[in-house]
Amino acid sequence: MMKPPVRVAITGGAGQIAYSLIFRVASGEMLGQDQPIILNLLEVPQALTTLKGVMMELQDCAYPLLQDVAITDDPNVAFAEIDYALLVGAAPRGPGMERADLLKINSEVFKIHGKALNEQANRKVKVLVVGNPANTNAFIAMKCAPKLDPKQFSAMMRLDHARAVNLLAAKVGVNVSAVENIVVWGNHSANQYPSIAHALVNGKAASSLVEQNWVENEFIPAVQQRGATIIKARGKSSAASAASAVVAHMRDWAMGTEKLVSVAIASDGSYDIPPGLVYSFPVTIKNGEFSIVQGLDIDKFSRSRMLVSQKELEQERDIILDLLG
């Protein structure tokens, strides 16, 4: 039996990630083959013509699950009664721009989007922030949406998680499905901490299969720098893999998973991460709610890496709190 349709908003609809993502969502890959979808696509005014072209292609796919599609440059229209918000759109980092400048520009975007979600979205909306700096943008949107529960906001670490799984599986010579319990802690930035400390490969401790030297000097930098490595090779940033990660993140959020995945959410103080900071944790998901996996041993090496990411996020938060006033 078909379910009633759900409304999904995707921002940055004319961008590269969206060009992959929109079609996968409309085909039913994200929410299932029994879930009809209404899509609201948001862009800046100057990209609306391009977005119209994307919409025409989408219509030409004749996806049976797609009940309607609308394009707009008004967040209040895009977010009206939506059940899922995929916040992909953000201003890119221009030449010579500092991270703080990017934060400042995107704080304005996510302030507006947070307020529009607060007023317009379904009260149970699930929000995923992809646009960078993703963790802090999620923090801003959350703060600007006081009528929504902070637990309704997340930032995407799933691409980093998948990169770490892939690199470990390749090193050990197994299929990715043999790898469990990878955790990517912290910020979606070059200071993230991809950890194999609790990872299993075919049920065996990953740490017994690889050298610590490889972990510290090859694996961690390779995961942290994977985005830059792809830009170098492709001339553009990751797009199809990012879309794939969005689909996996939202599917798990909607349908649940007992497997450990990495998700950036507001800290509840677990693992001594300051409450409220949007930090990536190991989570499982049930009934649409994230639970941070408790009780993992954190050794000295892990703690020092987790702290680097924490400090970066605290700095970003402090810049933003000043801007939000």
- The residue nearest ligand NAX at its CB is 15
Does 313 sit near ligand NAX (CB under 6 A)?
Answer: no
Work out how close the CB of 106 gets to ligand NAX at its nearest, in angstroms, rounded to a whole number: 8
DSSP 275: T
Spatial separation of the C-alpha atoms in residues 106 and 102, rounded to whole Å: 6
| Minimum distance, C-beta of residue 69 to ligand NAX, in the bound complex (Å) | 16
Nearest to 265 by CA among 126, 171, 132, 146: 126
Does residue number 120 form part of the binding site for ligand NAX (CB under 6 A)? Answer: no
- Kindly identify the residues of this chain, within the stretch 247-306, that bind ligand NAX according to CB under 6 A: none
Rounded to the nearest whole angstrom, what is the least distance from the CB of residue 15 to ligand NAX in the complex?
2
Question: Cα–Cα distance between 223 and 228 in angstroms, integer?
Answer: 10
- Cβ pair 274, 250 in contact under 8 A: no
Instruction: Say whether residue 35 binds ligand NAX (CB under 6 A).
Output: no
Q: Quick one: 7 exposed, middle or buried, by C-beta within 10 A (0-12, 13-18, 19+)?
A: buried
- Identity of the residue, 99 or 151, whose beta carbon is nearer to ligand NAX in the bound complex: 99
Residue nearer to ligand NAX on the CB measure, 3 or 234? 234
Is 188 a residue of the active site? yes
SS3 19: helix
Q: What is the CA radius of gyration of the chain?
A: 19
Interface residue with ligand NAX among 188, 198, 226, 305 (CB under 6 A) is 188
Round to whole Å and give the CA distance between 181 and 64.
Answer: 36
What CA dihedral angle connects 63, 69, 73 and 78, to 10 degrees? -110
Minimum separation from the CB atom of position 47 to ligand NAX (A): 4
**CB of 292 closer than 8 Å to CB of 183:** no
Looking at 26, 41, 156, 273, which residue binds ligand NAX (CB under 6 A)?
Answer: 156
Q: Is 114 in the site for ligand NAX (CB under 6 A)?
A: no
Q: CB-wise, 14 or 201, nearer to ligand NAX?
A: 14
Q: Which is nearer to ligand NAX, 65 or 134 (CB)?
A: 134
Selected binder of ligand NAX within 58, 69, 88, 144 (CB under 6 A): 88
Contacts of 57 (CB under 8 A, 6+ apart): none
- Going from the C-alpha of 7 to that of each of 23, 117, 154, 163, the distances in angstroms are 15, 13, 18, 30
Nearer to ligand NAX by C-beta: 156 or 169?
Answer: 156
Catalytic site positions: 188
Site residues (vs ligand NAX, CB under 6 A): 11-12, 14-18, 42-44, 47, 88-92, 109, 130-132, 134, 156, 159, 188, 237-239, 242
